Amino acid sequence: MHHVLILGAGTMGKVHAAAYAEMDDVQVVGIVDSDYEKAAKVASPLGAPVFASVDEALSTLDYLNIVDICLPTFMHKEMVFRFAEIGIDIICEKPIARTLEDARGIIDFCREKNVKLFVAHVVRFFPEYELAKKRIEEGAIGKPAVARTFRGGIFPTGWNDWYADFSYSGGLILDMIIHDFDYLRWMFGEVERVYAKSLLGRNLLRLDYALVTLRFKSGVIAHVEGSWAHEGFTTRYEIAGQKGIIDYDSAKEMPLVMKSKKAGKGAGGVAVPESPLKKTPYYLELEHFLLCIERDEEPKVTAEDAYKAVEIAIAALESIQSGKPVTLNSEKVHPRV
Amino acid sequence: MKIGIISFAHMHAYSYARSIQRIDGVELAGIADDNVTRGTKMADTFQTDYYRDVDSLLSAEIEAVIVTSENVHHVDHVTAAAEAGKHILCEKPLATNTVDAKKMVAVCKENGVILQTAFPVRFNTSIIRAKELVEAGKLGRILAMKGTNRGTNPGGWFIDPKKSGGGAVMDHTVHVVDVMRWLMKAEVNEVYAEVDQLITEEKIDDCGILTLEFTNGVFATLDCSWNRNKTYPTWGDVTLEIIGTDGMVSIDAFAQKVNVYSDDKGLAWDFWGDDMDFGLIQDFVTTVLNKREPSITGEDGMRAVEVAIAAYESASRKKPIYIG
């Protein structure tokens, strides 16, 4: 039985709690959030206690073996250090950290303290994304040439509006399209060069849009689009190879759409699409991490992968600020962006 | 009004010829083509005269010509037509380098003939509608754009740089760059591009992603790859997304289609929207009849070529190229 303490009752904390609720071998031992009411809504179906602080949780709980950090990015480092110090295995939301130095610090410290560290790059667990990788590996489209991805929708709202604070979140690039950076690197290997443009620094209120070109060492050219200027939320990809094309668009593939005549919570005259699965990608991801703990195995997304994803994102931010392409190599010291 | 066509090397000649024949009072008066088989066949198809050489067509009683020869020959054919006093609609890209493009603009000016660049996408009805929305201020201030003009590798002379001047970047940069310039009334001042030969075995660029900065601060990307494979349901696309402060518009210029599933061809997208090539020819004819300034000038053609050339330079030097 795993005893999991969840930090944060925001969007991801809620989603993770719902996944754990479905698992037989997991007990959520508590949810830490300074907003009691929000946390209570997440905790009560699980019969879990709510703690106002980590201190309170640690002084109250007899036992836990996993902490699941679902807090804003800039808080990751402090929390990882706190729990690694006392030997607790860690699941941490993506991005692993706000800066490369913090990311490296987190990885090194967990290794030093001999605790496991899993970073929740959940896109690798979305069946529609995994399938493209599988088909490409089987040769369905021949050698990949040009890839395009889209991820975006409306500007996100979070605790204290932290997404809108670039120094907290790293914005659209570090918080959102890092998913696609990781996914593309998973398929095509290391990135050689990054060039990017975005609305960062243009003083537009709650609006961001980014177009990033990645050149992989394998030759693949990828175009990564991120938006906090659209409505709703959609993701898309298209990978064109020497002998074929594979594509997916969440806005077009809708297995279930609910349209209610009654005006009500989120459904009044509005179409509510769902893509129901017996196991959600979040469930699959957490189940995989727990299995890796039990069997002492490498996860399919490692902490080093999470570092590399931040490295691509930071290079994109650097390119946006300098107007120049950024060549990636591990020896280079990146300016703080 | 009599119009001649110089060469059927470019497949657009076919639809231009058909468009000419749909307009009352306009006649396709002759076809010049150095390829005798193709020229005579086309002359037969369109019931018109065949000329072995360009000069004989130009000495015939015609007012205008459409130049649809291989890209590198545009400069000679436009120059000859201008000197013969014929008005000209020239297929894109206007030229394969900016020196030729400038020369073409100058020679047409000297001889007092109209030089229009064939950018039919400006006559796509969804693109026209998007321009109306932009001009009505529906999007607020434009911040960014994202375009694609992807296609199948056309093969033939298109993949011979000595005749085409370049591959996918030369072929597919200019349409959408022209539309972006036209929509915003702004010029491109910086180009970055990743370009490579990743699909074909031939030595020609077939994949490219360009990033552009405009004089008004807008940034944009454009995918010009020849990466639609044989079984893709259509030859290619023109898409453009415009992000503004107050909204966005997403255009898929050929999305007016029905899906046809046949045992022979698999899935095919069958287009039923307005014919943009016809719109272009109609506009050119009206321009010549009224002796007015063309809606798409030689300079417009030249600006788009400039971007394609800068993209090649950027890709080889791995840095952004300023053309402002």
pLDDT at B194: 98
The whole-chain average pLDDT of chain A stands at: 94
**Tens digit of each residue's pLDDT (9 = 90 or more) over B218-250:** 999 999 999 999 999 999 999 999 999 999 999
pLDDT at A261: 78
CA triplet A19, A22, A27: central angle to 5 degrees? 85
* Buried-exposed string A194-215: b where 16+ CB fall within 10 A, e elsewhere: bbbbbbbeeeeeebbbbbbbbb
Q: Nearest-CA distance from B319 to chain A in Å?
A: 7
Residue A155 phi/psi, 5-degree rounding, is -60, 130
Residues of the domain holding A62:
2-121
**Using 50, 70 and 90 to split pLDDT, how confident is the model at A52?**
very high
Q: What is the mean pLDDT of residues B14-34?
A: 97
Positive or negative torsion for Cα A252, A256, A260, A265:
negative
* Buried-exposed string B118-133: b where 16+ CB fall within 10 A, e elsewhere: bbbbbbbebbeebeeb
A147 and A200 fall within a common domain? yes
CATH of the domain at A214: 3.30.360.10
Residue in A with minimal Cα distance to B151: A240
**Residue at which a domain ends, from A79, A105, A121:** A121
pLDDT at A329: 77
pLDDT at A332: 59
Q: Write out chain B residues lying below 8 Å of A143, CB-based.
A: 198
Instruction: Please give the Cα distance from A45 to B316 (Å, whole number).
Output: 60
Residue A290 lies in a domain: no
Kindly give the interhelix angle for A281-295 and A11-21, rounded to the nearest 10 degrees. Answer: 70
Distance from the first to the final alpha carbon of chain B: 40
Residue A293 lies in a domain: no
CA triplet B111, B182, B294: central angle to 5 degrees? 25
pLDDT at A205: 80
A166 and A42 fall within a common domain? no
Q: Write out chain A residues lying below 8 Å of B314, CB-based.
A: none
**Using 50, 70 and 90 to split pLDDT, how confident is the model at A333?**
low
Instruction: Please give the Cα distance from A98 to A105 (Å, whole number).
Output: 12
A113 and A132 fall within a common domain? no
Q: Is the peptide bond before A95 cis (omega within 30 degrees of 0)?
A: yes
Q: What is the mean pLDDT of residues B144-159?
A: 98
Per DSSP, which regions of A48-202 are E strands? Answer: 50-51, 66-69, 89-93, 117-120, 144-153, 191-198
A74 and A180 fall within a common domain? no
Q: How many alpha carbons fall within 13 Å on the CB side of residue A81?
A: 11
A87 and A131 fall within a common domain? no
Residue A318 has pLDDT above 70, yes or no: yes
**Tens digit of each residue's pLDDT (9 = 90 or more) over B46-56:** 999 999 999 99
Q: Write out chain A residues lying below 8 Å of B227, CB-based.
A: 145-146, 240, 245
Residue B233 phi/psi, 5-degree rounding, is -65, -10
Residue in A with minimal Cα distance to B206: A145
Q: What is the mean pLDDT of residues A120-130?
A: 98
**Using 50, 70 and 90 to split pLDDT, how confident is the model at A330?**
low
Q: What percent of chain A has pLDDT over 70?
A: 96
Q: What is the mean pLDDT of residues B137-159?
A: 97
The residues in A 192-221 lying below 8 A from B, measured between CB atoms, are: 193, 195, 197, 199, 202, 204, 207, 209, 211, 213, 215, 219-221
pLDDT at B130: 98
Q: Write out chain B residues lying below 8 Å of A201, CB-based.
A: none
Indicate yes or no: CB of B194 within 8 angstroms of CB of A193: yes
Q: Is the peptide bond before B93 cis (omega within 30 degrees of 0)?
A: yes
Contact status of B227 with chain A (Cβ, < 8 Å): yes
pLDDT at B22: 97
**Tens digit of each residue's pLDDT (9 = 90 or more) over B237-285:** 999 999 999 999 999 999 999 999 999 989 999 999 999 999 999 999 9
pLDDT at A265: 58
CATH number of B122-275+305-322: 3.30.360.10
Let me know: does B83 contact B111? Beta carbons within 8 Å. yes
A164 and A218 fall within a common domain? yes
Q: What percent of chain B has pLDDT over 90?
A: 99
Indicate yes or no: CB of B243 within 8 angstroms of CB of A204: no
Q: What is the mean pLDDT of residues A242-264?
A: 89
CATH number of B2-113: 3.40.50.720
- Chain A to chain B, count of Cβ pairs less than 8 Å apart? 91
Instruction: Please give the Cα distance from A195 to A326 (Å, whole number).
Output: 6
Let me know: does B198 contact B207? Beta carbons within 8 Å. yes
- The first and second tokens of residue A52, run together, are 């106002």
Residues of chain B with CATH 3.40.50.720: 2-113
Give the total number of structural domains in chain A.
2
pLDDT at A213: 98
The whole-chain average pLDDT of chain B stands at: 97
Name which of A131, A130, A113, A177 is nearest A300 in CA terms: A130
CATH of the domain at A11: 3.40.50.720
pLDDT at A263: 63
Name which of B194, B169, B222, B298 is nearest A219 in CA terms: B194
Residue A284 lies in a domain: no
